[in-house]
Chain A
Amino acid sequence: MELQLGLALPTSNNKSNNRLNFGNDNNDVGSYTNDEVIVQSWLPVANNGGGTECSAVNSRKRRRFIESFEDDHIPINLKTLPLLQLAGGSDDNDDNCSVVLNKIETEDEEEGDDNDGEGIVGWPPISFRRKKKKKMWNHRDQLMMMMIVDGSSPSSEECGEGPTSMYVKVTMDGIGIGRKVDLAVHDSFPSLRRQLFAMFGLPEENPWDGGAGAGEYQLTYQDSEGDWLLADDISWRSFMGSVQRLRLMRSSSSSGSS
């Protein structure tokens, strides 16, 4: 019995139709024989709802692909191929095939990770998301530790149990007492600087642009690896992701990231 299943098995020895027009409007496409191997760097198709036209075209072309599948070129000793299965059976991670909803097994983590400067990319195989979460939380823990060490008794707001507080310690050269500032209320360096001005009583007209050396003080920060860097060297977002504490350095004594 011949099964017309509409999948990729050849329906007949269709020797004549070896050629296939394939592609969409955005690529230049010709027709290909089975002998040609075409390098196709498909341009990303605009991801819009205009898939309807595309898909009609595609299904037409896909049908031809199926029909024109030519098994003459397959080595004779190839066994009959199992019908390609849409449902691949047991999830490699899911031992509980019988679970009706086929829950995706949680945490198939074995691996992966971003190269933190540790030699081999993606090794050991630990999911980078697992590791990244740990890093982000270490940062937050450090903040809380600093506040506790500081001597003040943190209220729950200060501890960051409110929505998005992010207190860091700020010291300024020449002033003995450090302060704390909530970075979460700022979205840019100028905004942060304005608050620091006010905190430390620097006059507004102080030409402190924080970077080029024209001002008296430079804003520096310590990142998660312990290095002191100029705050202006990175974007606000990166800054927020790694800042541990701040220091207003007098320009004359600073040398960048000392």
Chain B
Amino acid sequence: MDLTPKQSIPAAESTRFPDEVLERVLTLLKSPKDRNAVSLVCKDWYTADSWSRRHVFIGNCYSVSPEIVARRFPRIRSVTLKGKPRFSDFNLVPDNWGADVQSWLLVFASGSPFLEELRLKRMRVTDESLEFLALNFPNFRALSLLSCDGFSTSGLATVATHCKNLIELDIQENGIEDLSGEWLSCFPDNFSTLEVLNFSNLITDVNPGVLERLVSRCRSLKVLKLNRSSSLDCLHRLLTSAPQLTELGAGSFSQELTPQQHAELKHAFGFCKNLTVLSGFWDATALNLSAVYPACSGLSFLNLSYTALQSQELASLLPHCPCLRRLWVLDSVGDRGLEAVGANCPSLEEIRVFPTDPFDEDMLHTVTESGIVAVSQGCPKLHYILYFCRQMTNAAVATVVRNCPDFTHFRLCIMNPGQPDHTTNQPMDEAFGAVVKTCKKLKRLSISGLLTDLTFKYIGEYAKNLEALSVAFAGSSDLGMQYVMEGCSKLKKLEIRDCPFGNAALLSGLERYESMRSLWMSACNVTVDGCKALARQMPRLNVEVMKEEGSDDCKADKVYVYRTVAGPRRDAPPSVLTFSSL
């Protein structure tokens, strides 16, 4: 690898910035978008950016190879990598699809051994990789694994044992093989640098004594997220020794407390003046929740999506959280609970309502269109919504966006596929039409319900800032997808399942795919020939087809298309066909 490009630049042009000054200035630019813009100005700036870039974000690990990254950015300290298509979260992607981090670690170990931070999402990470990481990067300090799989708690143990400077260990929502809580005991006795510890994903118990000693040693600990098996007694002790926490994930909240214990817990929460984020609270009872009130005055993000609160419990809690900006709840709170949100949270910017029981169609206590309208009436700053419901109307959605025209993320999931407006029996086209016409800043949209091509016509015509679109069980013909491909010039990610879009629709995006991160189409009408045609015309795309067992040879059951400078990948399993015109 050529490590001295600077010497090739002609020296002594008095009008030029010295490289060192330029690099120094560039280090003040953090945003990847700004950095990318800088690198396009001229060759000198490209070089300066390459040498001074410390963090790189790679949205699709197959869009580039580790060698290219290491060659371009010889001094990176922090890497964010995303792997599998998002629909792998819904079991639509084969387990062995790929996105293994090991090849990246190997390259970085030889070229950038000063790597400090690694953040992975939907990647495959084995225990061997974790061990390799722990042993080969002496400055390593921050590991974040979100929705990854392939590792076990043994891998965590090696990280805890060997990473002497670890400040962050963030394990979320992973397919982890949870063997024991012993990993926590692997931090050395004198280890005290931790600032972020999140093991809320893990099931097995950790030793409370070990945890408490670790927390009291780590005076800089800011983020602590416990798992469900952590008791309230343990929490009480932890809060007492770490009142400086800014983010807390409580463990189980169901334990019966004596009045004395309750008072002590409440007292301990009262010391935590810096808390801005609260989560966890599995199985919280109303009484126990009241112990949390003293800590809520500065709260900006409350995640109650693991505990099925009733409307009254939420209504009692919210008045204590006047600064709330983000709220995640289960639909057990009902429309009444959402009315309480509208009444108590004037600063609310984001709300996510998850289903308590996604498959129980007889659920009576869920949320309806009234709930979402109530929130929009009380929270004019709302710009992010994720809403799972069983019924919706066009009028309600139109009201919501009239109340809150600043939506950037609008994700509505009507859980019964293809369900119309339940009062008029019409398609939900006008609902999403209202969204795209009113919300000029819309970046992300997920649509559901009974939808015809008209919805897509609206999207293509009005959603000019749209970057991500998720579609399921919608549309009438190829035209639907064509409208979007032609109209949404800023589109980056498109995910489609179970829609009547065929080869013509797929090929209508020819001019769009190279400016997008990826396209996913499953259970549509695309054929293998269509995929070949796409690959033939667009050499810089990888067109992957995942076949399902027993399907026709000509059908392309699942299609994943993404731009890449690394060519077709070599690690695909036999069930994934890669089409390339190389």
Contacts and interface: CB of A to CB of B under 8 A. Distances in A.
Interface stretch (A108-116, A167-175, A203-211): A108-116
A113 B358 contact: yes
Nearest to B229: A161
A101 B168 CA distance: 11
B415 A124 contact: yes
A252 B403 CA distance: 70
Contact of B577 (A41, A66, A164): A41
Given A37-B581, A65-B567, A86-B58, A107 B172 contact: yes
A121 B91 contact: yes
Given A42-B571, A107-B173, A137 B582 contact: no
Given A7-B565, A84-B63, A92 B468 contact: yes
A69 interface: yes
Given A78-B511, A103-B144, A38 B580 contact: yes
Given A62-B65, A106-B146, A87 B282 contact: no
Given A32-B582, A129-B147, A137 B46 contact: no
B359 interface: yes
B30 interface: yes
A91 interface: yes
A127 B173 contact: yes
Contacts of B65: 58, 62
Interface in A89-147: 89-92, 95, 97-98, 100-104, 106-116, 118, 120-131, 133, 136-137, 141
Contact of B80 (A82, A102, A123): A102
Interface in B549-582: 563, 565-574, 576-582
A36 interface: yes
A8 interface: yes
B175 interface: yes
Contacts of B110: 52
A22 B80 contact: no
B30 A100 contact: yes
B550 to A, nearest CB: 14
B63 A161 contact: no
Interface in B334-391: 354-355, 358-359, 384, 386, 388
A163 interface: yes
A98 B417 contact: no
B112 interface: no
Contact of A125 (B78, B90, B146, B510): B90
Contacts of A258: none
A58 B571 contact: no
A85 interface: yes
B320 interface: no
A98 B46 contact: no
Given A37-B532, A69-B540, A97-B31, A137 B228 contact: yes
A4 B497 CA distance: 40
A198 interface: no
Nearest to B388: A124
Contacts of B67: 55, 58-59, 62
A45 B100 CA distance: 12
Interface string A47-62: 1010110010011011
B517 interface: yes
B56 A87 contact: yes
Contacts of A43: 570, 574
B222 interface: no
Contacts of A65: 567, 582
B318 to A, nearest CB: 21
B378 to A, nearest CB: 21
Given A62-B567, A91-B57, A129-B175, A101 B117 contact: yes
B69 to A, nearest CB: 7
Contacts of A112: 87-92
A225 interface: no
A99 B546 CA distance: 36
B289 interface: no
A191 interface: no
A177 interface: no
A149 interface: no
B32 A89 contact: yes
A44 B573 CA distance: 6
A73 to B, nearest CB: 7
A62 B446 CA distance: 37
A17 to B, nearest CB: 12
A141 B472 CA distance: 35
Contact of B539 (A34, A104, A110): A34
A91 B59 contact: yes
Contacts of B64: 86
Interface of B: 30-33, 35-36, 40, 42-43, 46, 55-60, 63-65, 67-69, 71-72, 78, 80, 82, 86-92, 100, 102-103, 106-107, 110, 117, 119-121, 142, 144, 146-147, 172-175, 180-181, 201, 203-205, 228-229, 231, 282-283, 303, 305, 328, 354-355, 358-359, 384, 386, 388, 408, 411, 413, 415, 417, 443-444, 446, 467-468, 470, 472, 492-493, 497-498, 510-511, 514-515, 517, 532-533, 535-537, 539-540, 563, 565-574, 576-582
27 contacts: A5-B46, A6-B68, A38-B580, A39-B577, A42-B578, A47-B103, A58-B65, A61-B567, A79-B511, A81-B515, A82-B515, A86-B56, A87-B32, A92-B443, A92-B467, A104-B146, A110-B470, A112-B87, A124-B358, A124-B388, A125-B470, A127-B89, A128-B89, A129-B201, A133-B203, A137-B282, A161-B231
What are the nearest 9 A-B pairs in CB distance?
Answer: A112-B90, A122-B90, A87-B32, A112-B89, A88-B59, A8-B565, A89-B33, A37-B532, A87-B57
